[in-house]
Amino acid sequence: MKLAVFSTKPYDRQFLDEANRTAGHALVFFESRLHAMSAPLANGYPAVCVFVHDQLDATALSILARQGTRLIALRCAGFNNVDLRAAQRLGMTVTRVPAYSPNAVAEHTVALILALARRLHKAYNRVRDGNFALDGLLGIELHRRTAGIVGTGKIGSLVAKILAGFGCNILAFDVVKNPEIESLGGRYVSLDELLALSDLITLHCPLSPDTFHLISADALARMKQGATLVNTSRGKLIDTAAVIRALKSGKLGGLALDVYEEEADLFFEDLSNRVIQDDIFTRMLTFPNVVITGHQAFFTDAAMRAICEETLANVTAFERGLPPPGLLVAEKVRGG
């Protein structure tokens, strides 16, 4: 099938080309992001492949549908950037890769937690600079700390498992309980209780109207003094301005992020020679107790291989008229 791949970086091309040796689709790569203005590039392609910063709003989708696109194949798990209702209305199929490697994200989450806990981000630079002083590097142990996991699906439950291995007490909040949590000795509590009792809060729920700014000024006020907040899920789960105020007051003792509210203007690009215009983001970089990575939690060789294989498997199934394994929205049966 002819597939227009958007937001292509060299690593996407490498892993997609590799996976396509067996899938055999006709891939055409575009570096541009897909949005209403760039949608004409996909003219005549029955399928497009997109990533987290492509904007498939109702306008972009109607342009694509008019041009003959019937399949939107997301090469990621989250789908908050696609207007699913509009896709359904337009009779399009939308697929994603629900579980390529939850381990990749869970392990990166724990890497961020440990970096903050042991001040690795500061120690690394100090040692390279010949500064072996320990002042300012006092760490905290995870053993016996209370970790609050918000969202206990594939990634959240793995984070819980790893943190339980460190000897953390596990508290969890989710709209659906996962028996794995209780088998680890964890306990489901209300969100209020989790906020009040956790030394460390880590977010693993999807972004939806219900979870937008889940960590608001009010939620921050209800947290333990000096708690650590970690977000490797989606940036808009957190009110960043409120988080900055909490860092300044000391209410928040540490922050680790792999995602950021306005990341679409920054992440995945080399901006090292430019002046970053986002004052909220640059303010966060000034805190000694903040560690940020640029949406790289998913980025491992195993995950990239799985993402590309699963994405193309969705395309193959669609082409053959079979239900794609990562189906989100099914194409309307013509005339039905």
Which residues of this chain interact with ligand NAD, rule CB under 6 A?
Answer: 77-78, 99, 102, 105, 150-156, 173-176, 204-206, 210-211, 232-234, 258-259, 295, 297-298
> Shortest Cβ contact with ligand NAD: which residue?
153
Per annotation, catalytic residue among 145, 234, 261, 310: 234
Q: 310: which strand partners?
A: none
Cβ proximity to ligand NAD, 78 vs 91, nearer residue: 78
Least CB distance to ligand NAD at residue 260 (A):
11
Q: Are 255 and 243 in contact (CB under 8 A)?
A: yes
Least CB distance to ligand NAD at residue 306 (A):
12
Q: Which regions of the chain does DSSP assign to beta strands (E)?
A: 2-5, 26-29, 47-50, 71-74, 93-95, 146-150, 169-173, 187-188, 200-203, 227-231, 252-257, 290-292, 327-329
Residue 53 designated active-site: no
How many CA atoms, within 13 angstroms, populate the side-chain half-sphere of residue 16? 26
Cβ proximity to ligand NAD, 174 vs 239, nearer residue: 174
Look-up of token digits 């696109």: 69
Cβ proximity to ligand NAD, 151 vs 253, nearer residue: 151
Minimal CA–CA distance to 73: which of 146, 122, 118, 7?
7
Least CB distance to ligand NAD at residue 228 (A):
17
Cβ proximity to ligand NAD, 23 vs 304, nearer residue: 304
Least CB distance to ligand NAD at residue 326 (A):
12
Query: Do you know the residue count of the chain?
Result: 336
- Close Cβ partners of 253 (under 8 Å, ≥ 6 residues apart): 225, 226, 227, 228, 289
How far apart CA 203 and CA 156 sit, in angstroms, is 8
Q: What is the DSSP letter of 332?
A: P
Cα dist from 225 to 229, 254, 316, whole Å: 12, 11, 52
Give the SS3 label for residue 291: strand
Cβ proximity to ligand NAD, 27 vs 181, nearer residue: 181
Cβ proximity to ligand NAD, 228 vs 232, nearer residue: 232
Minimal CA–CA distance to 279: which of 242, 241, 247?
241
Per annotation, catalytic residue among 261, 263, 309, 310: 263
Residue 261 designated active-site: no
Q: Which residues of 187-207 are buried (b: 16+ CB within 10 A; e: fewer)?
A: ebbeeeebbebbbbbbbbbeb
Least CB distance to ligand NAD at residue 312 (A):
18
Residue 263 designated active-site: yes
Show which residues are catalytic.
234, 263, 295
